[in-house]
Structure formats: C-alpha cells, structure tokens
Chain A
C-alpha cells in the first residue's frame, strides 16, 4: 500500500495545482479530449512493442506523448484554422480514440494494459511510476509558481496580458501541455474515463470556499488528497476498483461541500449590498 499512497499523494498535488486553471478557464472539455486521446499513444507504444517487436518504454510514456501532441493540435488548431473550438476538441477526441482502438486491435495480448489505462491501476503502481510522477509534479509546480501571475492575467484578461508583453498564445499552449501532463498522471490513478472528474471536482469544491486563485490551488490539492485517501481506503475495505472509488469519493465530498455552502447561505439573513463582504464569493 506504500507506493499507491505515494502515487496518490503526487497525483493529488499535480491534479490540484492544474485543476483550478481548468475550472476557471472552463476548459474541462479540452481536458476530456486530451484524456481520451492518450489512448492513441498507449496503442502506438504497445503495437510497436508487441506487434512489430520494437523495444519500447512502458505505455505511460506513449500516453504522455499523445497528451502533448493533442494539446498542441488543439491550441494550434484554434490559432491557425480558426475553426469552432468545440469542433477541434471533438476531432482530437475522436481521432485519438480511433487511432488507439485500431492499433490495439492489431496488438496481441493488450487486455491488462488497456484495462489499467481505462480504469486506472493505482494499486499496482511501481516505484518507477512514482519516480516519473514525482518529476512531472516537480515540473508542474515549478511552472505554475513561476508563471502564476502571468497565467492569472492571461486567463482573466488576455488583452491586458498582451499589453503587458506576455506571449499570450504561447502561455496558453504551455498551460494546455501542462493539462496534458496532469491528465496522464490522473489516467494512472483513476483511468481515462474518470481523469476529468479528478481534474475538475476538487477544484470546483475549492472554488466554493476560496475567493482567490492561490488559495483555490492549495484547497484543490487538499481536497484531492482527501478524495484519494478516502477512495483508496474504501477500495481496500470494500474490494472496489480504486479509480472508481476515488472519483466517487470526490463527488460525495463535493456534494457535502455544496450542502455546507448552501446551509451557510440559507443561514444568513438580511439584504447584502455589493462590495461589502470582503474576500468572499458572491
């Protein structure tokens, strides 16, 4: 249980530090697209390894490659082809899944890998997985802390960010790549299907209680850790799949958080005037 806990902790930090940007920019659909398109990378690495006989690194590296390529496709597609954003996202989503399914159908003996990619394999992670995640988490924390103010400005007011000399398109693209990295980490923990849940739910919950982006990031990390801990414990106790247990715990905690906030609002009486409640959400 030691390595699953270490990986769970790292995934919480990584997902929690990226999630608030996804939520406030409203790019959860993009995250879903990247999460599903990682199947193409997994399929490619397994196909080259098993069907062609080319020695390849573990499929998670293929997932990482596919996530970065998908993030670049979405951001470049938006920039150069001026298509409707949702059309590009849907195309990347479908293309990634289709390529992955075709390559996997031509690969002998892929069942165990594909099930761990689809529903997560937190209970079977290795120290090597933990090392890769530690590096990705470190990179993500460094990037977000060094670029925090710039990211905040780009997401709030892109025109002002441009006037401040920030290369807004490039920074947004880097954010999407970071989302891709976060998605791959979450795919390891909860699988493709539930990765988007863990990227958004803890951040949505943090948004209920925090009025500033910086505190929202910290709260999202804490809520992710609580969900991971409770989910793993439930999986161990009830013999449930770990990924689904974690996602379900996150949703239950989000529901409780919503209930507490609603109770607080109902408990308050009197007419509220604009700008008098310091540092609280409307």
Chain B
C-alpha cells in the first residue's frame, strides 16, 4: 500500500526546549490514527510539523514521498484558536479552503461556492451558511471547520482536538462524518477521548516527547490514565 505519511527520526525543539525526540512512524493511504498525550507533550507541534508550518531540526517527513507543505492536506484547528469576533460568515470560512482556486481578479468561482455549500451539507450545517462564525455554538462551528477541510478534497486530514468543546451527540456526529472518509482519506486526529475514538481507528499514537504507536485493541480506560498520570520518574525514561 502507498505510504501517505512517513516520519523518520523526527526531532523538534523550541529554542532549547526539546518537544519531540526521535519519532518514527508511517501511515498508509486511508488509515485513521488517533494522537493522544498530555498537554505540552507535543501533539499540536507534531501536526504543525506534518503540515509544514514548522520545520524539523532533525529527521524527515514525507507526504506521498514529498516534503510538506502538501496541497492535498487539510487541517481542522482547535476551535478556540480562531478569533470569534472576526466578521466572517460560515460560508466564507469554508470558502477559505478554495482560496488556491481564486480567479485572476481575486474572486471565488461559482464551482467553489457550490463545493463549499456541499461541504457544509456533508457536515449537516448548511442552514448556518449565512450566520457569523462567532455566533455559532462550539459544536456547530467545529463542524463548519470540518466542512472547510472537506471543501479542499484532501487526501490527508489532520484534526486538532475537534471534539474539545462539543457534547456527546455532536462528538458522535463528527466521528460518523470522519468514519465515512476512512479508506479514501488518511486521518490523524488529536484527542483526549481515546476510549470513544478507539473503535474507529487503525492505530493510536501516544505522544509525550517521544511517540509510541499502539494497536487500538490495546487501548482501555487505564491507557489514558497511565499516560496522563504517569509518575515523573517514568516520564523521564527515554
């Protein structure tokens, strides 16, 4: 099978603070991985490295054999990271994913608007297309951001805690949408709810400065407890 993502001996540090050290893993096309780990463990940094927003100091990342950034990638950021007061509607947010396709006069084409509306329909939030993004609830705005990611027809999808501010119902709806993409799209999803997501995924990447790839069958309620509440002496073991 084609290797969609290949990471080998990746290390990254902010100034002197080493966040990720000697990480290696790969994902085949269509696989779905959960990324778990405590705050400050390097999950979001790993996503930013995969996207090409940060450059690794050591090691390499290959997306379909090429160095990131890659046009086939889409990213769903943490909802809270965006300015809720920004004057932008849900449809305009989704159209952002079609900016690569702007006309020479800097306008969106009719087909881009159709694709954006279709993506909103896919995630079940088309009725909110004219609403201001900042007025939408956490769950709805998260689905708008997923729609934006889908609007660019990605082959690799990265999601950063998409269920952090959603209720159980919104979470299960989001997982159902993502589950439909499995098989055609390679997905990495940062989450703290590993027990919920375990039945859907092909693997669980535990990130805490280093990374350990686990089989979802090995995941139980004690896994996250052990990972998030590990004694300091255990954490220091390389």
List residues of chain A with CB under 8 Å of any chain B CB: 24, 145-150, 152-153, 155-157, 159-166, 207, 210-213, 216, 274-275, 277-282
Contacts and interface: CB of A to CB of B under 8 A. Distances in A.
Given A159-B77, A216-B87, A279-B130, 19 more contacts: A24-B83, A146-B106, A152-B88, A153-B99, A159-B53, A159-B75, A160-B148, A161-B96, A163-B73, A165-B71, A166-B99, A211-B87, A213-B88, A274-B135, A274-B136, A280-B135, A281-B132, A281-B135, A282-B134
Interface residues of B, number: 39
B181 interface: no
Contact of B69 (A163, A211, A216): A163
B89 A212 contact: yes
Contacts of A166: 99
B229 interface: no
B86 A164 contact: no
Contacts of B82: 156-157
Given A163-B75, A279-B89, A282-B134, A156 B83 contact: yes
Contacts of B136: 274-275
B128 interface: yes
A275 B51 contact: no
Given A156-B82, A159-B75, A207-B87, A150 B99 contact: yes
Given A166-B99, A212-B87, A275-B140, A149 B107 contact: yes
A159 B51 contact: yes
Contacts of A165: 69, 71, 100
B20 interface: no
A279 B132 contact: yes
Interface in B125-184: 128, 130-132, 134-137, 140, 148
Contacts of B214: none
Contact of B89 (A211, A216, A282): A211
Q: Which of A145, A157, A212, A282 has the most CB of B within 10 A?
A: A157
A1 to B, nearest CB: 36
B196 interface: no
B200 interface: no
Nearest to A210: B87
Nearest to A82: B15
Contacts of A213: 87-88
A24 B87 contact: yes
A212 B88 CA distance: 6
B102 interface: yes
Contacts of A145: 106
A236 B52 CA distance: 58
Nearest to A24: B86
B197 interface: no
Interface string B59-87: 00000000001010111010000110111
B92 interface: yes
A155 B82 CA distance: 10
B106 A150 contact: yes
A279 B86 CA distance: 12
30 contacts: A146-B105, A146-B106, A149-B95, A149-B99, A152-B88, A152-B92, A152-B96, A153-B96, A156-B83, A156-B96, A157-B82, A159-B53, A159-B77, A160-B77, A162-B52, A164-B96, A164-B100, A165-B100, A211-B87, A211-B132, A212-B89, A216-B87, A274-B135, A274-B140, A279-B130, A281-B87, A281-B132, A281-B134, A282-B134, A282-B135
B97 interface: yes
